[in-house]
Amino acid sequence: MKIHHKLCAGHAPLTRRHFLFGAASASLLTAHADAEVTSLRSASPRGSARACIFINLNGAASQMDTFDPKDGVWNPRDADIRDYSGGLRLSRRFFPKLSTQTNDLLVLRSCASWEAAHERGQFYMQTAHSQNPALAAEMPHIGAVIAREKGATGLIPPFLAFNQTSLQGATFLGGLFQPMMPPATRNGIGTLTHNFFGSAQQSEARFEKRFNLLKDLDEPLRSAPFNSEMAAYGSYYERAKSMMYNQAVDAVFKFDANDEGRYGNTAVGRSLIVARNAVRAKNGATFINVTQGGWDTHVGQFDPAQGTTIYTLTNDLDRAVGSLVEDLKASGDFNSTLIVMMGEFGRTPGVLNSRAGRDHYRTVMSVAMMGGGVKGGRVIGASDATSANIADPGWSGNRAIYVEDITATIYSALGVDWTKSINDTPSGRRFDYLVQSQDLNFRPVEEVFG
């Protein structure tokens, strides 16, 4: 998979230059702000959410050890699996916090993937398209599509991403919709200000003077750039500069020790604190990708000697998401924020493998959703007793729910017409938001909304 977030040789992981270039990539093509867009058929997006927090369970989470637990010898003795109203089942040991929030939780248990390899599965989940070598470099992330649809008019970029280096970017959609990939640390982004002097006012004045000098020197290249990559850098410089010396922007990326402790003092926890801040600030963020790695549990998934286990993965996720839900409810933003939790495919059903873990499995997977117009306290669909096959699709499509359907559901919740196409891509090929199938008719799972 093409990695768009690059470091320049000789620089530390995050320098002022990296902040200014930030999400802009040397492979970006000219922004298609006025691209020719058509809709293949009429669609009526719900528009129930203002923002989406997409939690990527990278490595492929086991459906049986997360949101579709089954009774069997494969469970550890302390799993403490309990039944809740609406058909929900959760391990209280794995999800102690979410077990108290089941009224807001919706689980889709009849999902499936077309892929069973991590790289291809991640590309598919990030773009809703297969990883065709002829087209992959031009295929944008769904977050970039949403960013383009919702616009980049706020103080911060509309597409934020945390904890994932191998992330498909905006490609031909342009620098304005490329994901900003900031650190999630208590002190925020140190390069939002330059402390030249003791006085912030003096420092800002000096920065403005130097930036204007840079613009004057670069003017010939800005007005007539050598290529599309240089044009993309120029536009992103202006975007990044507008974030400097702005307390509202600075506050989004900072948090205190109390919040860090409540969310679990983990990478996923810290990232979800910043996601919470961005949603509550209402200053531009519309799609926030937060990745939690480690879900590739082939060996010793319950063995503490492994370090990363189902216990640590679920508990870290549970504490962070549970706290996120509490805080969004307290600020009144829960109902307008769609939270999605999913991996790239499922894992092998029934008994554990010979190494006490689970392998790749695309036939059955589970997806969890909360907020953003989702009607919680329910399940959609069902797998069989060992989670080997889908027993009941549970929705009007009367088939497995694929990543294309999940993506269409996210688009609909965000008010995006999933049937759109962009006809004038740099390669001349048409880019469909979703590649349609006459047999399957990918579309939103309307049952998600009740």
Q: Among the listed ranges 175-179, 305-309, 368-372, 444-448, which one has the minimum average pLDDT value?
A: 175-179
Task: Say if residue 414's pLDDT is above 80.
Answer: yes
pLDDT band at residue 59 using 50, 70 and 90 as cut-offs:
very high
Confidence of residue 244 (pLDDT cuts 50, 70, 90): confident
Per CATH, the number for 31-188+250-449 is 3.40.720.10
Over residues 382-399, mean pLDDT: 98
pLDDT beyond 90 at 54: yes
Q: What average pLDDT does range 203-215 have in this prediction?
A: 83
- For residue 291, give every residue at least 6 positions away whose Cβ sits within 8 Å of its Cβ, in sequence order, or none: 55, 56, 58, 161, 162, 163, 164, 268, 271
Tell whether the model's pLDDT for residue 33 goes beyond 60.
no
DSSP single-letter state for residue 192: G
Band (225; pLDDT cuts 50, 70, 90): confident
* Whether pLDDT at 340 is above 80: yes
pLDDT for the residue 122: 97
Return the pLDDT at 132: 92
Q: Where are the domains of the chain?
A: 31-188+250-449
Lowest-confidence segment of 310-314, 416-420, 434-438 by average pLDDT: 434-438
Is residue 330 predicted with pLDDT exceeding 50?
Answer: yes
- SS3 for the chain is CCCCCCCCCCCCCCCHHHHHHCCCCCCCCCCCCCCCEEECCCCCCCCCCCEEEEEEECCCCCHHHCCCCCCCCCCCCCCCEEECHHHCEEECCCCCCHHHCHHHCEEEEEECCCCCCHHHHHHHHHHCCCCCCCCHHHCCCHHHHHHHHHCCCCCCCCEEEECCCCCCCCHHHCHHHCCECCCCCCCCCHHHCCCCCCCHHHHHHHHHHHHHHHHHHHHHHHHCCCCHHHHHHHHHHHHHHCCCCCHHHHHHCCCCHHHHHHCCCCHHHHHHHHHHHHHHHCCCCCEEEEEECCCCCCCCCCCHHHCCCHHHHHHHHHHHHHHHHHHHHHHCCHHHEEEEEECCCEECCCCCCCCCCCCEECCCEEEEEECCCCCCCEEECEECCCCCCEEECCCCCCCCECHHHHHHHHHHHCCCCCCEEECCCCCCCCEECCCCCCCCCCCCCHHHHC
Model pLDDT, residue 5:
35
Rounded to the nearest integer, the mean pLDDT of the chain is: 89
DSSP strand pairing (420-422 vs 382-383): unpaired
For residues 348 and 169, give the distance between their C-alpha atoms in angstroms, rounded to a whole number. 31
pLDDT of 450 higher than 70: yes
- In this prediction, residue 185 has a pLDDT band, given cuts at 50, 70 and 90, of very high
**Mean pLDDT in residue range 128-157:** 95
- Which residue, chain included where needed, has tokens 């962009």? 422
Residue 433 has pLDDT above 80, yes or no: yes
